[in-house]
Amino acid sequence: MDTAELEWIAWTNPITTAFAAEVAASDLSGRTVACHQHITPESICIVGPLLQAGARVRMAPCNPDSTDDRTAAHLASMGVDIRGHAGMSAAEHADGLAWLASEPADALCDMGGELIASTAAAGHRPAGALEATTTGLHRLAGLDVPFPVLDWNGIALKELIHNRHHVGAETWPAFAAITGLSLYGREIVVVGFGPVGQSVALRARDLGANVTIVDLDPVRLIQAQHHGCRVAEFDEAVRRASVVVTATGFDGVVGAAQIERLPDGAILVNVGHSNREIDVDWLDQHPHADLRRHLERYEVNGRRLYLLNRGSLVNLAAGLGTGAPQLFDPFAAIMLLGLDAILNGRVAELLAGVQRYPARLETRVAQALVDSTRD
């Protein structure tokens, strides 16, 4: 990346950049940070100040299909120990996680809970960790994690802003870029009406789709009806679906039973963190072909079905140019300030296990965001 591009990345991430000098001025010599996260351009804004403060940073992708190769190469040139590239195989992805967990670290930055779980199993005891996803919280539930884990998935700033608005704002441009299709008149089934599902469903509705919600929680179904969406049982909904979108954070939500009921031409999309919310392994047992980047056609019982981005988060499909990095800027700042607090001993009073991300840090980021929007 050249100087002009790096300048643009910094300019489109003003909140994180505003806190960078503060973090870079601390002394983190001898400290190690292990990061298991999406490797996208805003990663540079998070990692740069840590390196300037003297920390060692090791990084591998939390998702095999979201890595931006130019970002990975630039991070390596900055001095990050990194193992990641676009389109990693499942074995390569697992090797990257094992490599990260093989050494002790002072702080962990995780998306999906896999690094935290692996680190605890290996007997390492970092000062603390960050976790960003519903999938990760599901994975950590019931585990004996002997160090504090700062949950920033549940903070209001992420749940009410990123999950509820930003994911939907990025999902459908990515869908259009991959497929060349609009949503007008299409039958969209969204599985899961949490904040992410709401974001995706309501944006689809605004773009002209007919939206049906599937959820196990009757309260969420009532909420969906109040937003003008239809609700239905899973098996009924998929029979007429043009597009099925999973947004639950759980593996195996759409399996063989649902896929076999889909009509010819249906498209399968995931926006949850897990890349197995759709049973891709079952699909791969059927004849299939790559049609274009991030788009595969499957032949299932004489019907053509389509899968986007190998079942990984479609809004983070690498190389589309449809993402909006500025939308993630406040959350990159959440990560940077959280790591800084862990490394400088400012969360030492917290008990082991999952804890709420410090409210004082969330407030600082929120205030910086408000200030950035004022004339």
Rg (CA), the chain: 20
CB 244 within 8 A of CB 279: no
- Backbone φ and ψ for 194, nearest 5 degrees, come out as -75, -170
* Measured distance CA(145)–CA(337) in Å, rounded: 22
* Measured distance CA(60)–CA(240) in Å, rounded: 39
Taken in order of first residue, the domains within the chain and their CATH numbers are 3-153+323-372 (3.40.50.1480), 166-312 (3.40.50.720)
**pLDDT at residue 322 in the model:** 62
* Measured distance CA(181)–CA(171) in Å, rounded: 13
**pLDDT at residue 375 in the model:** 56
User: Which tokens belong to 227?
Assistant: 């937003």
What is the model's pTM?
0.88
Which residues lie below 8 Å from residue 346, measured CB to CB, with a gap of 6+? 340, 358
**pLDDT at residue 321 in the model:** 66
User: Which tokens belong to 228?
Assistant: 């003008």
* Measured distance CA(269)–CA(190) in Å, rounded: 9
DSSP 163: I
Which residues lie below 8 Å from residue 281, measured CB to CB, with a gap of 6+? none
Q: Is residue 314 within a helix (H) or strand (E), and if so which, with residue range?
A: none
Under-70 pLDDT residues of the chain? 321-325, 375
* CA distances, 354 to each of 12, 22, 289 (Å): 31, 27, 42
Report the greatest alpha carbon distance in the chain: 62
DSSP 254: B
